């Protein structure tokens, strides 16, 4: 066996499910002079095991966005059992990041490939939330008809060109996406409303802009359906409908084929 072959045979691939509170991070992806989730994972691995590691995440969540089910790939030659690796790494992490699951997988695994569905939650409050909840939902201080809001959200289900509901900085040419479903429910325990959005892939800020636009259109316009459809058809992200803040968004789960 060649030296390269020997090194390759020592490498192990792990799939991680990672949860984090995004409040104090610039997002998932590394940025100079700003703390990111991936940077903390890299740094704590080096601190705990005295080895560098490359961490690859399935979704590049933005600043302030949370995750309960970020999927991560890690490759290392560290000779350690998965359970011990997870335990030691978690002990090195700050309390706002946790590895929920860590398992050995085939080295062909790529978190970007074979994604069947991503599930996101967006939480909002219609009454001022308790102090320890305010980082995890958008306080919308206006009277709104919840049934109308539910009807407005359904306008986005299906396959559409979502160019009007992306970040202005998102310059991708392909802006057609399919939303499998959107549901709205009230969670009495936390006095919060949850919008659940399911689809294979999304544009940057797409979910936040959909929720923000629906809230503002229903609040301000009797003909909210026509307003939303007109903005959707314009394929222009520069419009007056709101973009909901990042803190209400959570990557809940990623399902693979």
Q: What is the pLDDT of residues 199-256, one digit of tens each?
A: 999 999 999 999 999 999 999 999 999 999 999 999 999 999 999 999 999 999 999 9
- Domain borders along the chain are 3-105, 116-256
Integer angstrom CA distances of residue 2 from 34, 78, 139, 197, 213: 41, 20, 60, 49, 59
Question: Per-residue pLDDT tens for 2-29?
Answer: 534 445 568 999 999 999 999 999 999 9
Query: Does position 137 have pLDDT exceeding 60, yes or no?
Result: yes
Q: Quote the CA–CA distance of 77 and 233 in Å, as a whole number.
A: 51
Active site residue 106: no
Topology annotation, domain 116-256: Alpha-Beta Plaits (3.30.70)
Active-site residue among 21, 62, 148, 174?
A: 62
Q: Quote the CA–CA distance of 252 and 70 in Å, as a whole number.
A: 8
Taking residues 163-188, report their average pLDDT: 96
CATH architecture of 3-105: 2-Layer Sandwich (3.30)
Quote the pLDDT of residue 241.
96
Q: Quote the CA–CA distance of 48 and 67 in Å, as a whole number.
A: 23
Query: Does position 163 have pLDDT exceeding 70, yes or no?
Result: yes
Quote the pLDDT of residue 125.
98
Quote the pLDDT of residue 171.
87
Quote the pLDDT of residue 8.
58
Quote the distance between the C-alpha of residue 14 and its chain's center. Answer: 21
Quote the pLDDT of residue 3.
39
Alpha carbon distance, N-terminus to C-terminus of the chain: 35
Share of residues in the chain with pLDDT > 90 (%): 93
Taking residues 115-123, report their average pLDDT: 98
């Amino acid at each position: 066996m060649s030296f390269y072959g020997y090194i390759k045979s020592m490498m192990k691939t792990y799939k991680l499910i990672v949860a984090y509170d995004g409040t104090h991070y610039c997002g998932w992806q590394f940025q100079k002079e700003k703390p990111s989730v991936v940077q903390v994972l890299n740094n704590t691995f080096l601190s705990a095991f005295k080895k560098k590691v490359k961490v690859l995440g399935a979704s590049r969540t933005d600043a302030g966005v949370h995750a309960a089910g970020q999927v991560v790939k890690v490759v290392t030659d560290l000779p350690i059992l998965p359970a011990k690796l997870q335990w030691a790494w978690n002990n090195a992490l700050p309390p706002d990041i946790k590895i929920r699951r860590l398992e050995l997988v085939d080295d062909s695994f790529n978190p970007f490939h074979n994604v069947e569905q991503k599930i996101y939650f967006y939480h909002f409050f219609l009454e001022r939330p308790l102090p320890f909840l305010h980082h995890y939902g958008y306080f919308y201080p206006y009277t709104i008809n919840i049934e109308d809001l539910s009807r407005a959200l359904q306008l986005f289900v299906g396959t559409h060109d979502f160019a009007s509901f992306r970040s202005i900085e998102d310059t991708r040419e392909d802006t057609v996406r399919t939303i499998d479903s959107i549901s709205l429910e009230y969670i009495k325990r936390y006095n919060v409303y949850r919008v659940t959005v399911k689809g294979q892939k999304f544009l940057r800020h797409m979910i936040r802009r959909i929720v923000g636009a629906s809230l503002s259109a229903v609040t301000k316009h009797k003909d909210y359906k026509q307003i939303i459809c007109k903005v959707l058809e314009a394929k222009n992200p520069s419009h007056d409908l709101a973009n909901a803040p990042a803190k209400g968004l959570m990557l809940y789960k990623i399902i693979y084929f």
